[in-house]
């Protein structure tokens, strides 16, 4: 999502939601967030699970040094012990090799995700071990630039939405989806703004 797309989406959201309009006036637009498409991003998603951003970057850097290229074939050629020494847990090695095998065999068509519907692409990604709905939705938002995604399981989004709507406590994922249903077809921009609001708004 680039600045122009975000500006258009925020203008539309401010028209239909007074709480967004007021917060937008105070905080301004969220910064763009774009991730590349392809195998390396899926691999990085596995590497980053349940560890800090800094640790994930360091481990991903060491993993990439083992690979002649960021591809399924290259990863499958690397010994598990080398990946372990790079910092991957046994479970993450299992997930990474599973991703690579699915991509190499054609069971998981990374390029084909671009022409799938949102729901079909999410189903395809979550069929892989190690990938939940949140990971799939993040890939759709930031790599495939899908405009109408809302990762309702994200804790920061729930907290931010509860603050924005002045609720006594954070909403459940289902409540969150219901609260922002009228944001369609700009729910990706709305999600980006909620993360922005989470960091910038008073508790």
Under DSSP, the state recorded for 165 is T
For this structure, is 154 an active site residue? Answer: yes
- What is the rounded CA–CA span in Å between residue 67 and residue 77? 9
Catalytic residue among 17, 79, 154, 178: 154
Q: State the burial class of residue 169 (Cβ atoms within 10 Å of its Cβ: 0-12, 13-18, 19+).
A: exposed
Residues with Cβ within 8 Å of residue 144, at least 6 apart in sequence: 37, 113, 114, 121
Burial readout 100-124 (b: 16 or more C-beta within 10 A, e: otherwise):
bebbeeeebebeebeebeeeebbeb
Catalogue the active-site residues: 154
């Amino acid at each position: 999502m680039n600045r122009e797309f975000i500006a258009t989406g925020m203008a539309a959201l401010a028209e239909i939601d007074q709480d967004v309009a007021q917060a937008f006036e105070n905080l301004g637009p969220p910064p763009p967030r774009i991730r590349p498409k392809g195998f390396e991003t899926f691999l990085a998603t596995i590497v980053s699970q349940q560890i800090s951003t800094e640790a994930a970057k360091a481990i991903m850097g060491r993993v990439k040094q083992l690979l002649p290229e960021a591809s399924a074939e290259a990863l499958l050629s690397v010994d598990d012990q080398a990946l372990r020494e790079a910092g991957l847990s046994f479970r993450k090695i299992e997930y990474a090799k599973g991703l690579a095998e699915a991509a190499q065999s054609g069971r998981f068509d990374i390029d084909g995700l671009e022409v799938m519907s949102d729901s079909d692409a999410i189903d395809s990604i979550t069929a892989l071990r190690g990938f939940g709905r949140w990971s799939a939705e993040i890939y759709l938002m930031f790599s495939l630039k899908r405009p109408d995604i809302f990762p309702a399981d994200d804790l920061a989004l729930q907290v931010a939405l509860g603050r924005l709507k002045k609720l006594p406590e954070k909403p459940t994922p289902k409540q969150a989806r219901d609260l922002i249903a009228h944001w369609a077809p700009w729910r990706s921009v709305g999600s980006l703004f909620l993360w922005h609001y989470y960091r910038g708004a008073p508790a």
